[in-house]
Structure 1
Amino acid sequence: MKIFVARLPGTPVFDPAGDQIGRVRDVVVGLRIGRRPTVHGFVVEVQPRRRVFLPITRLVRIEAGSVVFTGRLNMRRFEQRATETLVIGEMLDLTVTVEGQPMTVYDVAMEEIKPSVWEITKVAVYKRRRRDPRIVAWQEVSGFDTLQKDQGAAGLIAAFESLRAADMASALHDLPSKRRLEIARALNDTRLADVLEELPPDDQIGILSILEPERAAVVLEEMGPDDAADLLHDLPDQQAAQLLALMEPEEAEPVRRLLTYPETSAGGVMTSEPVILPPTSTVAEALAHIRQQDLTPAVAAQVYVTRPPTETPTGTYLGVAHFQRLLREPPSTLLGGVLDPSIDPIKPEFTLREVTYYLANYNLVAAPVVDELGHLVGAVTVDDVLDHMLPEDWRERDDEDDD
């Protein structure tokens, strides 16, 4: 049975009892001169974002949409050896030679030669934008051992296409720096913005710095204003000012406002684009707004009701309508009649500690932020607070130290 590796990223990994323990992120092989590469195993991501090694000898079977292993797994973080190559991260998009012609790799096939012994047997290549794809034997291909200046990114992006932004960010973080930057350049602006929001600050800065300033500004526009402000906080002042100047004025304005608040205050961590409606809107309209796919669960948990205008800073803040209350009311009910009178808004100058106590005290996942004039300026969500209270390198840490 042949398994094409580019189809594996994101595939759930199960133990014999049927419990999912993680997802496949890559395949580890050993290149051999004059012989087909041997498959050493899989890189599997388990929670919380830890990548471990699953030896091929512990594989029970690969079937539609799943990988099953023996149930024994070493939880030590995966470290690639000098003699090992990652198929997804390093082999896809390479330019190789087939019958004297340059070709681009977009997939490879692994095959079980004998029990628990797998090798790379086939290579899928194309010459021009996959218009003339071919599948050839490994022996017909040369060039996998050549260091290339510009490897390309189309194949790897296709392999990661179905991953959530957070999972793709994790995958990018573990790639060599050169490869990570190639992928970032090739992603479209919206996808890159989503992935940047999930990356550690050092990766964010590295990627933004290699983009043309005009494109970097567009990517910042695609990010949430709070995430864009956080990233600009980490950049040198001159670079941040340049990017702000290149952004569209209406996109830059909420970011500029957020930058005026201390980074560790309610104003500094809030989103300036929660769901806001006037009191004359109906429950049906509110539910339609919180169904938007691009809203996080915390942002969609409640609707903020204000007098016009309903863009921050808004008219007079009136109150909040929780989505559970909205589900219980007739669709034609006006929002002005379903407000929660027990929730007092917080001030932009609240510290993160004060915000944390507030959310815990009222069992909330989000809270309105209102200025001294009574205008809604944003909302703080529990994920905003966690992002700023956890250590900067939390995305890279194990759930426990490796001893």
Structure 2
Amino acid sequence: MAAGAPRIFVSHLSGVAVFDPAGDQVGRVRDLVVMLRVGQKPPRLLGLVVELATRRRIFLPMTRVTAIQSGQVITTGVLNVRRFEQRPTERLVFGELLDRRVTLTETGEEVTVLDLSVHQLPARREWEIDRVFVRKGRKGSAFRRAKGEALTVEWTAVTGFSLEEQGQGAESLLATFEQLRPADLANVLHHLSPKRRAEVAAALDDDRLADVLEELPEDDQIEILGKLQEERAADVLEAMDPDDAADLLGELPTDEQERLLSLMQPADAADMRRLMSYEERTAGGLMTTEPIVLRPDATVADALARVRNPDLSPALAAQVYVCRPPDETPTGKYLGTVHFQRLLREPPPALVSSIVDSDLQPLDPEADLHAIAGFFATYDMVAAPVVDEAGSLLGAVTVDDVLDHMLPEDWREQEFHLDEEEVATDGA
């Protein structure tokens, strides 16, 4: 960026694409790294934390940034692909500085940091934070911003950034990442400090936190759940997919399992207990108890309306299961499956019982992982019904759950390993 360029507010850099000189995208900005300095000197912006396509996070020094413009970052093309590791003297802007309570030097009034601006020093390749956007008044919540005057002040006009804050909020950080998919937000949480991770988890609503927990490694799941109040932990478990919630409950001590189950709705607790009664790597242990179930007199229009539910995963929306009442698992007699593509080819008034596929054998709840994987591969399925000896539908196994258990246990934390520590993305 040329000397004299306007300041950039850091919230505008979240998730911005990073390109090499040839125009090829190499990753996205996930945080900024600054070094606080003694006295009132503004912090130096050392570089950016960039997430590559492989989900590895690397450090991109500002000396290798040639331009920040039009919602993109341009680099010199040379990247050090070693994994980013934060040093004791470094601070992460999104993870540690936003939402912090600081003090206005002139009045002694406490304010909340909403944003920071950075600029490049004239005739140098150094950057620093120069201004702070703050809001007066008490803190807001994850759902409502606190009322109060917002103003931009010089860095030297506030104090308190060097202090460890015990009750730091997460409002601005969540606003920064609100567009991320659950898997990407989970990746953000995984890289935060335990203190900050707990604060962000506390600020998320139950449904959003449930989606994110499903994408986190097991250790992070247990850590976050353990820091929630028990009533809220039970609510979050209810909001999770039943199979994922049962897996998480299964990792907790028995007395803790029982406390949480006792706080859940009876129907949800019954589902959890049923899933936990099966071995983990069997169809019964992998299945969800909430597939789309229809009675024989339901129409194609009814089925399509259920498939349109945006809360369903693509795998669960790929087919519906026709059963005699009751139409909640465990159901009455399972009659067969109707695939989504077949629904699209039939007139809306047609009954699902007239187009049901009854030839495909369902999975036994005791079927092991090898048998389940073979079933999916043989019949090109993305979901499969699980039926007991009495012919009742117990649930459905989806292909994503099969993959989760076939990959190494730490697959969420694994990254592709590159042979070279220094790569030139422009071919240099």
TM-score bin (small chain): over 0.9
- In the alignment, does 2:401 pair up with 1:384? yes
Among 142, 146, 150, the residue aligned to 2:163: 146
**Per-residue deviation at 1:283?**
2.0
Q: What letter is aligned with 1:101?
A: E
1:83-102 alignment runs, 5 A limit:
83-98=89-104, 99=106, 100-102=108-110
Q: 2:243 aligns with which of 221, 226, 230?
A: 226
Question: What is the distance in 1 between the residues matched to 2:355 and 2:19?
Answer: 46
The corresponding residue for 2:58 is 52
* 1:109 maps to 2:129: no
Alignment CA distance shift 1:95-1:224 (3 Å): same
How many residues of Structure 1 are paired with residues of Structure 2 in the alignment?
403
Deviations 1:170-194, CA, capped at 9 Å, x for gaps: 1111111111111112222222111
Matched, 1:10 2:15: yes
Match status 1:62 vs 2:68: yes
Residue type at the aligned position of 2:128: E
- Contact residue 100 and residue 169 of structure 2 kept, 8 A: yes
Sort the Cα spacing of 1:402 and 1:245 in 2 relative to 1 into closer, same or farther, 3 A: farther
CA RMSD of aligned residues (A): 1.8
- Match for 1:126 among 135, 152, 157? 135
State which of 25, 38, 46 in structure 1 corresponds to 2:30: 25
Q: How does 1:4-403 map to 2 (within 5 A)?
A: 4-33=9-38, 34-98=40-104, 99=106, 100-114=108-122, 116-128=125-137, 129-400=146-417
Paired AA for residue 147 in structure 1: E
Distance 1:154 1:13 in 2: 26
User: Which letter does structure 1 place at the counterpart of 2:119?
Assistant: E
The 1:402/1:151 distance shift into structure 2, 3 A limit, reads farther
- Mapped partners of 2:59, 2:392: distance in 1: 52
Q: Could you report, residue by residue, the CA deviation over 1:1-45 in whole angstroms, capped at 9, with x for unpaired residues?
A: 222112332233333444433322111112222322222221122
- Normalised to the residue count of structure 2, the TM-score between the two structures is 0.89
Q: Give the partner amino acid of 1:28.
A: V
One-letter amino acid matched to 2:55? R
Deviations 1:54-106 (A, max 9, x none): 22233243334433333332222111122211000010111111122111111
User: What CA deviation, in whole Å up to 9, does each residue of 1:145-192 have, x standing for no partner?
Assistant: 112222222222222222111111111111111111111122222221
Structure with the larger RCO, 1 or 2 (CA within 8 Å, 6+ apart)? 2
Q: What is the CA distance between 1:350 and its match in structure 2?
A: 0.6
Shift of 1:213: 1.1
The whole-number CA distance in structure 2 between the counterparts of 1:220 and 1:60 is 46
- The whole-number CA distance in structure 2 between the counterparts of 1:338 and 1:10 is 46
Q: Secondary structure at the match of 2:341?
A: helix
Counterparts of 2:341 and 2:237 in 1: how far apart (Å)? Answer: 33
User: Could you tell me whether the CA contact under 8 Å between 1:89 and 1:156 is conserved in 2?
Assistant: yes
Larger mean Cα displacement after TM superposition, 328-337 or 241-250: 328-337
Q: What one-letter code is carried by the residue in structure 2 that aligns with 1:237?
A: T
Structure 2 gaps, min length 5? 1-5, 138-145, 421-428
In 2, distance between residues paired with 1:18 and 1:251?
Answer: 50
> Given the superposition, is the C-alpha separation of residues 17 and 362 from structure 1 closer, same or farther in structure 2, using an over 3 Å criterion?
farther
Distance (whole Å) between structure 1 residues aligned to residue 410 and residue 339 of structure 2: 33
Provide Cα deviations, 1:337-393, integer angstroms capped at 9, x if missing partner.
Answer: 222344211111011111111101111111111111111111111111111222222
CA distance in 1, matches of 2:327, 2:218: 32
Question: Hey, what's the Cα distance between the residues in 2 that align with 1:67 and 1:283?
Answer: 49
| CA displacement at 1:402 relative to structure 2 | 7.2
